[in-house]
Amino acid sequence: MKPVLEVKDLSVTFRTEDGKLSAVDRVSLEVGDGEVLAVVGESGCGKSVTAMSIAGLLPRTANVDGSVKLDGTELIGADKRTLRSIRGREVAYIFQEPMTSLNPVFTVGHQIGEVLRTHVGLSRQAARARSIELLKLVGIPSAERRVSDYPHQLSGGMRQRVMIAMAVACDPKVLIADEPTTALDVTIQAGILDVLRGLRERLGTSIVLITHDLGVVADLADRVAVMYAGRVVETAQVHELFANPQHPYTAGLLGASPAAGRHAETHRLNEIPGLVPLLSEQPDACTFADRCPRAVDFCTTSQPQLTTGQHQVACWNPVREPVEV
Amino acid sequence: MEQFALEVEDLVMHFGPVRAVDGVTLRVRQGSVVALVGESGSGKSTVGRCIVRLLEPTGGTIRLADADVTHLNRRQLRPHRRDVSIVFQDPAGSLDPRLSVGDIVGEPLRLMRRKDIPAKVSEALRRVGLRPEVANRSPHELSGGQRQRVSIARALISEPRLLVADEPTSALDVSVQAAVLNLLADLQRDLGFACLFITHDLSAVEYLADEVAVMYLGQLVEQGPRARIFGVPAHPYTQALLSAAPVPDPAEQRARKPVLLGDDLPSAIDPPSGCRFHTRCPVAVDKCRTVVPESRVIGEGGHQVACHLVSDDGTGPDVRTVEGATP
């Protein structure tokens, strides 16, 4: 199957007062048609920067190398007009914070309609009718009335549903959801995850799900890429990754995640000692080595590359036996 | 007679028209951990701020180790300050950036005019897993997890009987959160202080808490021993909370069906009549819309619930298994 989105050797560096910061280091990802790829990692691992570079949303201080192809069209270095026609139409983006992403002075109907008028050339009336349809699609009750609401009249969950409606207005090939439920309560989160699942099933939208929450990954993803300090350290089908994590970081992360019914007896969570390294120059070594319980001499002198195949891992001494978590 | 580090009775805290806390009764035994769980806007942090008397309650009483502190003024509160400490969610915002870590941790002792402060600061830092040299650093030089350890060291240096921990790990990454939760559990076991652990994340408290109290829109809907709340949750909201948090196991997670409550959290300015949860409850009946449910004991260990649909022996609907239920 040909991937819809193909990211190859993507590197992003930022010029700052403290010198060059390497946020993303030769990341390669593929997303198939109708597939949900979760990119998971902790703060500063580069997951959001990766997502933003796919959508061409990074500021000028960012230096992006490598290739991002959407259905064969190269996006890195593409001119403004190409990007404008793709952004919002072929690649759509949902941000974490729905309140700051919506314009407070326009009704939600106006804001969804704007997307349709700009990209599809719908008339004002047709755009309104389509906006109502979209609000229904994302599960907003009494959509006919809600379409005239301003963002402040909606709850956080509703606002995120509106953001999703805007994002899928033009039936994008790829939807990038950057921590779409992090700012929401769990009872609201469950509804939003349901909406995303429905979009994939009904519209066949490919989704790149950026998250730090392994529960969300387990709920929605088909495949998972685990990022650490700017690099992809492991990627596999979701069931395989949770059952047989091979990178010690993935295994550590799974053990550290609290989950109801799992830690009551042990009264302890697994810890990952140490700190995430600073994003200066990427060393020629495994960036996880100094926190890794399985590190060998080799790890500090040579950078492991991702293996090939269905389950890929970048580690000199991967976990082979199934881990109890 | 049983000893309580904290007794909150019928606590009410209104901010103008906003009824943030509306009649909360809660006790924490000496040396035990109670988790106060709720979502944004439930009033759980307001309860915490009333207990440490950052706020003066509108009504009700707060007793710290048998002393009524509900309406004491600043000066009168001073002798009680050592009985209770608080750790906040955001360690960056709650540590004074102009002070050194040592000054921050030692401040409670200075206010109490204690002696040997530097030695005690070193000991407090060591206890939370930091090297004593950290005392000379500034908060901004530390990572989020280290800063939260500093907050914990400051909170515990006066050897309080009660620690109020208000979402102490919510701002931290998963791997760091695990270390801070383990640290709190170890300290609590070793030092024996009582703890009110305020959180939105039920799963984070399962292995920490002796008891769990669940809050919704300013009121407690259910409280009881940990095993009962996780094992046989009686209130539909508790059941929904437990079912909504996704578990990090794809096979198990996909077999579950979260209870969807609808997105509209009612306002604390004009809370719903009857049971406050009725507007989102999948199994609400007419009575729920008009009659306020009283909290009553339904099981061992003082398991209490405020729901009309739960009978006195604790049997009642489980919204996790009700098919096609919609609010």
- In DSSP notation, B248-282 reads S-HHHHHH--PPP--S-PPPSSSPPSSSTTTTT-T
Tokens at residue A14, please? 């930022």
Are B168 and B152 in contact by the 8 Å Cβ rule? The answer is: yes
Q: What's the pLDDT at B75? A: 92
Chain B contact present for A67, CB below 8 A: no
The pTM assigned to this predicted structure is 0.90
Tokens at residue B173, please? 């990454």
Report the C-alpha gap between A255 and A250 in whole angstroms. 9
Mutation site, A42, A188, A242, interface B, largest B CB count within 10 A: A188
- My answer on whether B298 and B183 are in the same domain is no
Residue with tokens 């997951």: A47
- My answer on whether B180 and B238 are in the same domain is no
Question: A216 contacts in B (CB within 8 Å)?
Answer: 246
Cross-chain CB nearest to A264 (options B207, B240, B244):
B207
pLDDT above 80 for B164 = yes
Contact B242 A239 (CB under 8 A): no
Question: B242 contacts in A (CB within 8 Å)?
Answer: 260
For B2-44, write each residue's pLDDT tens digit: 789 999 999 999 999 999 999 999 999 999 999 999 998 899 9
- My answer on whether B15 and B76 are in the same domain is yes
| Range 193-222 of B in CB contact (< 8 A) with A | 200-204, 206-207
Band (A54; pLDDT cuts 50, 70, 90): very high
- Residue A68 domain-assigned (yes or no): yes
Chain A contact present for B248, CB below 8 A: yes
Determine the residue of chain B that is closest to A260 in CA distance. Answer: B203
Contact A264 B226 (CB under 8 A): yes
- My answer on whether B77 and B192 are in the same domain is yes
Contact B181 A269 (CB under 8 A): yes
Contact B206 A258 (CB under 8 A): yes
- Residue A73 domain-assigned (yes or no): yes
How close A287 comes to chain B (CA, Å)? 16
| Angle subtended by helix axes B144-156 and B117-127, to nearest 10 | 130
- My answer on whether B265 and B131 are in the same domain is no
Tokens at residue A52, please? 């933003």
Report the C-alpha gap between B15 and B22 in whole angstroms. 11
Chain A contact present for B177, CB below 8 A: yes
DSSP state of B13: E
- My answer on whether B143 and B178 are in the same domain is yes
Report the C-alpha gap between B157 and B103 in whole angstroms. 12
Q: B98 CB contacts (<8 Å, ≥6 apart)?
A: none
Question: B226 contacts in A (CB within 8 Å)?
Answer: 264
Give residue A11's domain range: 5-228
How close B78 comes to chain A (CA, Å)? 36
| Range 122-141 of B in CB contact (< 8 A) with A | none
- Residue A263 domain-assigned (yes or no): no
Q: For chain A, what is the domain count?
A: 1
SS3 state of residue B276: coil
- My answer on whether B137 and B16 are in the same domain is yes
H/E run at residue B66: none
SS3 state of residue B33: strand
- Residue B219 domain-assigned (yes or no): no
- Residue B226 domain-assigned (yes or no): no
Between B193 and A255, the higher pLDDT residue: B193
List beta partners, residue A67: A8
Contact B174 A212 (CB under 8 A): yes
- Residue A310 domain-assigned (yes or no): no
Band (B325; pLDDT cuts 50, 70, 90): very low
Mutation site, A269, A270, A323, interface B, largest B CB count within 10 A: A269
pLDDT above 80 for B101 = yes
SS3 state of residue B301: helix
Q: B2 CB contacts (<8 Å, ≥6 apart)?
A: B29
Residue with tokens 């709920």: A219
DSSP state of B266: P
Q: For chain B, what is the domain count?
A: 2
| CATH classification at residue A205 | 3.40.50.300
H/E run at residue A249: helix A248-256
- My answer on whether B102 and B241 are in the same domain is no
Q: What's the pLDDT at A266? A: 58
Residue with tokens 């207990």: B51
For A132-182, write each residue's pLDDT tens digit: 999 999 999 899 999 999 999 998 889 999 999 999 999 999 999 999 998
At residue A176, what are phi and psi to the nearest 5 degrees? -100, 115
Which residue, among B269, B259, B208, has the nearest Cα to B235 in the 3D structure?
A: B259
Report the C-alpha gap between B223 and B305 in whole angstroms. 7
C-beta atoms surrounding A41 within 10 Å: 27
Determine the residue of chain B that is closest to A266 in CA distance. Answer: B207
- Residue B325 domain-assigned (yes or no): no
Report the C-alpha gap between B92 and B143 in whole angstroms. 9
Determine the residue of chain B that is closest to A44 in CA distance. Answer: B173
Cross-chain CB nearest to A157 (options B143, B254, B263):
B263
Q: What's the pLDDT at B147? A: 94
For A65-95, write each residue's pLDDT tens digit: 999 999 999 999 888 888 888 888 899 999 8
- My answer on whether B51 and B191 are in the same domain is yes
- Pairs of CB atoms within 8 A across A/B: 147
- Residue A279 domain-assigned (yes or no): no
- My answer on whether B190 and B266 are in the same domain is no
Are A129 and A191 in contact by the 8 Å Cβ rule? The answer is: no
- My answer on whether B23 and B171 are in the same domain is yes
How close B122 comes to chain A (CA, Å)? 21
Cross-chain CB nearest to A43 (options B173, B202, B227):
B173
Q: B90 CB contacts (<8 Å, ≥6 apart)?
A: B171
Residue with tokens 């914070």: A97
Quote the Cα angle for A307-A313-A314, to 5°.
85
Report the C-alpha gap between B236 and B216 in whole angstroms. 11
Q: How many helices (H) and strands (E) does chain A have?
A: 11, 11
SS3 state of residue A153: helix
How close A114 comes to chain B (CA, Å)? 25
Lay out the sheet containing B296-299: strands in order across: B84-87, B162-166, B194-199, B33-37, B211-216, B219-225, B303-305, B296-299
Q: A320 CB contacts (<8 Å, ≥6 apart)?
A: A246
Tokens at residue B287, please? 């009575």
Contact A242 B249 (CB under 8 A): yes
Mean pLDDT across the stretch A15-19? 82
Give residue B284's domain range: 234-305
Contact B200 A218 (CB under 8 A): no
Mean pLDDT across the stretch A310-323? 86
- Residue B272 domain-assigned (yes or no): yes
- My answer on whether B93 and B164 are in the same domain is yes
CA B261 from centre of chain = 23
C-beta atoms surrounding A170 within 10 Å: 16
SS3 state of residue A285: coil
- Residue B167 domain-assigned (yes or no): yes
Between B217 and B258, the higher pLDDT residue: B217
| CATH classification at residue B11 | 3.40.50.300
